[in-house]
Structure formats: structure tokens, C-alpha cells
Amino acid sequence: MMTFKGWKKPFSALAGGALSSPARRVLPLLVPALLTACNQVEPSAPPQAEPMPDVVPLPPGLASVLVKGQDFIAYSTTPCFGFCPVFDAVLLADGTEYFNGHQHAAQQGLTRRQLDPAVFRQASQILQQTDFFTLPGNITNHSEDGSGPAEVCQHYRTDGPSVQISARSGQLSKSVDYYTGCSSNSITDRAALASEQLREILRLDELAVSKR
């Protein structure tokens, strides 16, 4: 049986005779480098970038009054079969509110007024409580491609107005088109609650509805 000394000699001979002098100098440096390279673990892939926030559309008459990047809550209504007030409104984080009255609105044209900044915080709480930022963007009596009823609006009545609510709060942004004739499920209930409570906290009927 070959002892430790017995198999050590060939390696000594190889290092001393079979390898040239330059090789003997390079080998001690090369072997550790090869072992290090074999033991290296490939670095993990960099984390995926977060998706960009939704683009929040605003009515043309109000887009020009917004400070770029400022948080806001916008509320717009469409005509109905009747005398529903049609208007656009936007509340900025500092309490500045712009109201643009159209058809059947008590206040016609663009109006600016200053509300308490606490109103914006209260409105933001409404969005959180109703999980507004997780609502579908389309809650109407037609699917987004116009082909027929959307799944979230299986029960609806005709001739009602729609409400468009858009909001940006920090890294969150969302725009929801909600037809008020939609009903009978948790999604439409949340949209209706957000619409009603926002309209009240933003005091929109003070400018939209005629006092009689």
C-alpha cells in the first residue's frame, strides 16, 4: 500500500523537474485564483422596478390650474335624463378648491375658493375607508371596449349620471368612472359610498345645486 510519503514524491518531482521555472512561479498563484472562481456564487438579479402609477386624467378646464405633482382629489359629473348638475371640481392638498360649473349647475364657470386643509385629509380618509385605490377603473353600464355590460355592473338602471373620481395621494393614483345606476354588489356599493361622502365633504352642492 502506498504511504503518504509514497504519493507525495511524484508531485515533488513534477513541481521540481517537469515544470519549468516560470510555471513553478505561476502555479501557486493560479491555483487559489481558480478555487476562488469556482466557489463564487452568481449575484442575484436586481429587483424589478416598481410599476409607474396610473395616469390620472383631469377635465381640461381644471388641468391648467393644478400644480404639477401636487396631491389632489377631482370629482366630475355627467348629464342625466333630467336636470342633474354637470360640473368638474378639484381639491388640492392645501385646501384650495376649483369648481367649474356647466349644465344645470348653480355656479356657472370656473370658481376658486379656499377650504380648510383638514378637508383634504378627511376626503383622503374616505378614499382609504372605501378602498378607492383598489376599485376597477370602469364601473359603468358598458365594458371598456363598448361591447356590452361590464361584469361589475350586472344590475343597472338607465338615464342616470356618471361620476368620475380621480385622486393622487403620495405614490397612489387612481381614476374611476362610476355610473350611478350600477348597483347590487360590493364594488358598486364602495363606489357609491365614496361618491356620496366625497360630494358632501367637498361641499360641492353649495355650488352645484340651486338654493330654492
Which domains are seen in the chain, by residue range? Answer: 60-208 (3.30.1560)
Q: Is the pLDDT at 36 greater than 80, yes or no?
A: no
Q: What is the mean pLDDT of the chain?
A: 78
Lowest-pLDDT range of 1-15, 68-82, 125-139: 1-15
Band (pLDDT 50/70/90 cuts) for residue 54 is low
Report the alpha-carbon distance of residue 29 to residue 208 in Å, rounded.
84
pLDDT of residue 156: 78
Which residues are within 8 A (CB) of 14 and not within 5 positions of it... i.e. 6 or more apart?
none
Fill in the DSSP letter of residue 18: I
Q: At residue 93, does pLDDT exceed 70? A: yes
Beta bridge partners of 99: 89, 111
Cβ-Cβ contacts under 8 Å for 88 (sequence gap 6 or more): 59, 61, 62, 74, 75, 76, 99, 100, 102
**Residue 26 clears pLDDT 70, i.e. is over it:** no
33-47, 89-103, 105-119, 177-191: lowest mean pLDDT where?
33-47
117-129 and 186-201 helices, crossing angle to 10°: 170
Task: Please say whether the beta carbons of 201 and 91 come within 8 A.
Answer: no
Contact between 167 and 72 (Cβ < 8 Å): yes
For residue 94, give the nearest of 126, 110, 72, 112 by alpha carbon.
Answer: 72
Q: What is the pLDDT of residue 184?
A: 77
Torsion of CA 116, 121, 126, 132, to 10 degrees: 120
Task: Give pTM, 2 decimals.
Answer: 0.71
pLDDT digits (tens, 9 = 90+) for 144-201: 555 555 567 777 788 889 999 999 988 889 999 999 988 878 999 999 999 999 999 9
